[in-house]
Structure 1
């Protein structure tokens, strides 16, 4: 077993369990249960050749396996019902992009799965983030469309449908039965749990009277409002120590005995390892980056609103501002573009065009999300809440000297600074709703962060979560944040329903992960390309004749913050520029992967 990697232990003596089960209550919901036709265990975890390798292993490996089993049993009997098994391997032969393709074939574009990567921002620019995470084949999915929720339990082969007031309570309630064992040796990153997205329209679950679904704009894509997958299997890359953690979480409640749980868990972990060690490595086209990554992309001429319609919406918004109805509002429009570039190829291009803290390739139900978001929606880590408003923008300079000059221009722009302070106040309010009295703090105020194309003003607001609340309460308080809605928030969103012509969907909602331990890291869904995949979307796909490349429709949504002195032409141009900057990834993907095949 040592041949597989750096270490062959499954669970370390340095474990401990949470002091209490996650959560503080439960809800009872009537449901209808039906079984869908599949063989989930065989499909999700193909059988491996039992323990032939273990039987042929040297005595030291057999002894280690016996010790591992004893530790697993000890952890289970100490009250934990969710136990991680893992291997730590060298990753010098494997990248996150390649690992994802090992787990998810190119033709499995609708298979729920994810790839998280990041770069860290600072005053001097960016550096590669320490961790990347890959996951595929969730054990369970939660899909919500308005108030109807479908729970797809792939372990049991069962589908449950529920009508609930707030679908976000469903995963929260499931988590209340978990008591995960914590392993000190696992990385300080997302190591398994829920992954997915929450649309902008989830605010309607709370603001039922002022923002009902019945008064929302046209829903022309019919995408889910919530999609979450429960990932028991993940691979976490540590780019500093050059190793990867291959992790499988065992749910003891699904097994008849601890011994059965351990043996089944080992098989699944070995299967996960085999999929990145023993499979034929998929071919990823290297391509050639022929276009400048700095320039804007091809202009986007197809939008949910004409230029005149958008500018008219800006003028109507300004009337409400001048009347004292609101102080600010963010009005967006959705651009679209056809492309023969595959969404995964676009993600590979976006990684070099716009490296950001939250780079994500997410295959969900009905769509693929390709994102490079710079902004936290909400983060909860060890009960500390973080909200990070990002507002105020100026282009990057061509030299360090020009960067510093532009940075000072940005900080001296009274309009942009005033807007930023307003959004910091909204962030303090959101954090304060769920934080202990006296713990809300603005840790950083008006710092400048440099990204690939622009610089932003950022601030950091923190608080300590109330004892009787969970990360789900923090998410509910923040979603959607003021940087994508306006102030006052609810009234601004009422006007967005009046002035925008289509539902936003994932745009300006959030995507990310909620760990088994109750930590949460959700990014704001900006700089996000949505590729619809569902058959219910009213588009006939076309193909290139010689290689049957599918034609995709890419959606780019972008908005502008409207205040009293906003110029409609400037706001329209801002939306176009934001979308065109994102579209540059498609230009590069097409020139690299598509045109090169001709």
Structure 2
């Protein structure tokens, strides 16, 4: 099997009048596999570049006991319980640090992939594959800070060969959504979780609800609606044949630049209004809310412990702690935890050390995930997993797959959770799941209208 990305990326400046989404819209619908990762709003440290790619050279699908590698239509099966190891073998090592991503493995890791490294029951039968990545050897990158647009490639300049269509959008249709838990059922599992907390099993656990629907039509119409309705630091349209993930995630799972490992725990939310004085008052209320602060502190500690497993001793520290950051529609308490990667570890080790995020599981993490498996009514699939890339140059950047819409073969779902702690009120936590799903469900309605 060939290894890709061993050469220095070559860069061709583009002078195009269209923005990155317009370009992607013209090209992506002509290919079965493509991706667009955009950074539209949020702190500058998160909103740096946007990148897209089409028609990967290789597709890797990771299962619990095997991987499938598809190249030029040929499928090879390898028996293994370590799909990350097989993915690593496909990536060459480039020293190009101009940008974090100039080619590499792009895809999704399902939440249920945690069972590859932790012995957690699979009560509901996790969907397979647990992860899927495409190896993209070229792409188009927009540097938001310097306002530059260019095409990059490693072995073959395919820019003139890309099939460019028109910029029209098709119709999108979706049915009414059906939640898998009503307020009564959700309150029951919240109260069961609180008993575990009172008994000392856990400090916190994130319990989620699923909203399912049927759909057909142009998923790019849905993405266009979402990026306008809820612009975020991590916007993504990831198309993997019959599967599409459309997201507006505010939260990073992990990012590596050189030997710097970063994570940005987010916990604590207030809305943003048209009244600036009210926004300031809501910020003050949030930053002095003892429940929110206690939950955030717990998740910062969990993040420090996670990256501490792969970083040099003594290098892990909060670069910023409990700052209010504004996004398109909400403001969050955000911390920035960093460390220096130990020389014996790499981006794959770092990813597995932090996955899944404490903000979508709980603390202690493993016991919280066992309780999630017990109390939630079905496997999570890609929800609360991660969408992003492992770059040829050893960098990576992954968003937590929240505030997302997951579509496969005409079936779609949105999922959202709330962090349950000792003094949680079930009614309030139910409302939080409704609120967090709100932008996605609104995008479905508007795209279909």
Higher RCO, 1 vs 2 (CA within 8 Å, ≥6 residues apart): 2
Question: Could you say if the C-alpha distance between residues 240 and 492 of structure 1 is closer, same or farther in structure 2, counting changes exceeding 3 Å?
Answer: closer
Looking at structure 1, the residues matched to 203 and 147 of structure 2 have their Cα atoms a distance apart, in angstroms, of 49
Corresponding residue SS for 1:284: coil
In structure 1, stretches of 5+ residues that fail to align are: 1-32, 34-79, 251-264, 288-297, 534-551, 592-598
Alignment match of 2:204 (pick from 320, 328, 351): 328
Alpha-carbon distance, 1:524 to partner: 0.7
Q: Tell me if structure 2 keeps the 8 A contact 1:99–1:134.
A: no
Q: Tell me if structure 1 keeps the 8 A contact 2:170–2:221.
A: no
Alignment match of 1:118 (pick from 3, 16, 39): 39
Alpha-carbon distance, 1:173 to partner: 2.8
Question: Could you say if the C-alpha distance between residues 301 and 567 of structure 1 is closer, same or farther in structure 2, counting changes exceeding 3 Å?
Answer: farther
Q: Report how many residues are paired.
A: 444
Task: Quote the residue 1:565 is aligned against.
Answer: 423
The 5-angstrom pairing of residues 142-157 of structure 1 reads 142-154=60-72, 157=73
Looking at structure 1, the residues matched to 144 and 419 of structure 2 have their Cα atoms a distance apart, in angstroms, of 37
Corresponding residue SS for 2:344: coil
Task: Quote the residue 1:225 is aligned against.
Answer: 130
Task: Quote the residue 2:162 is aligned against.
Answer: 275
Looking at structure 2, the residues matched to 299 and 490 of structure 1 have their Cα atoms a distance apart, in angstroms, of 36
Alignment match of 1:443 (pick from 290, 296, 319): 319
Corresponding residue SS for 1:572: helix
Q: Tell me if structure 2 keeps the 8 A contact 1:223–1:367.
A: no
Task: Quote the residue 1:99 is aligned against.
Answer: 23
Q: 1:492-516 deviations in whole A, cap 9, x for unaligned? A: 1011110111111111111111111
The range that moved more, 96-105 or 516-525, is: 96-105
Higher alpha-carbon Rg: 1
Task: Quote the residue 1:480 is aligned against.
Answer: 356
Task: Quote the residue 1:158 is aligned against.
Answer: 74
Task: Quote the residue 2:51 is aligned against.
Answer: 133
Corresponding residue SS for 1:430: helix
Alignment match of 1:530 (pick from 392, 402, 406): 406
Q: Tell me if structure 1 keeps the 8 A contact 2:64–2:81.
A: no
Corresponding residue SS for 2:101: coil
Q: TM-score, normalised by structure 2?
A: 0.93
Corresponding residue SS for 1:369: strand
Looking at structure 1, the residues matched to 177 and 93 of structure 2 have their Cα atoms a distance apart, in angstroms, of 52
Looking at structure 1, the residues matched to 417 and 46 of structure 2 have their Cα atoms a distance apart, in angstroms, of 28
Question: Could you say if the C-alpha distance between residues 242 and 557 of structure 1 is closer, same or farther in structure 2, counting changes exceeding 3 Å?
Answer: same
The 5-angstrom pairing of residues 182-193 of structure 1 reads 182=96, 187-193=98-104
Question: Could you say if the C-alpha distance between residues 327 and 179 of structure 1 is closer, same or farther in structure 2, counting changes exceeding 3 Å?
Answer: closer
In structure 2, stretches of 5+ residues that fail to align are: none
Looking at structure 2, the residues matched to 474 and 498 of structure 1 have their Cα atoms a distance apart, in angstroms, of 28
Alignment match of 1:246 (pick from 146, 151, 163): 151
Q: Tell me if structure 2 keeps the 8 A contact 1:300–1:579.
A: no
Q: TM-score, normalised by structure 1?
A: 0.70
Is it true that 1:216 corresponds to 2:100 in the alignment?
no
Looking at structure 2, the residues matched to 161 and 147 of structure 1 have their Cα atoms a distance apart, in angstroms, of 10
Task: Quote the residue 2:14 is aligned against.
Answer: 89
Looking at structure 1, the residues matched to 45 and 63 of structure 2 have their Cα atoms a distance apart, in angstroms, of 38
Alpha-carbon distance, 1:331 to partner: 0.5
Task: Quote the residue 1:62 is aligned against.
Answer: none
Alpha-carbon distance, 1:102 to partner: 3.0
Alpha-carbon distance, 1:88 to partner: 1.2
Q: 1:343-373 deviations in whole A, cap 9, x for unaligned? A: 2111111111111110000012542000010
Q: Which has the larger strand fraction?
A: 2
Corresponding residue SS for 2:159: helix
Alpha-carbon distance, 1:84 to partner: 2.4
Q: Tell me if structure 2 keeps the 8 A contact 1:300–1:580.
A: no
Q: Tell me if structure 1 keeps the 8 A contact 2:414–2:440.
A: yes
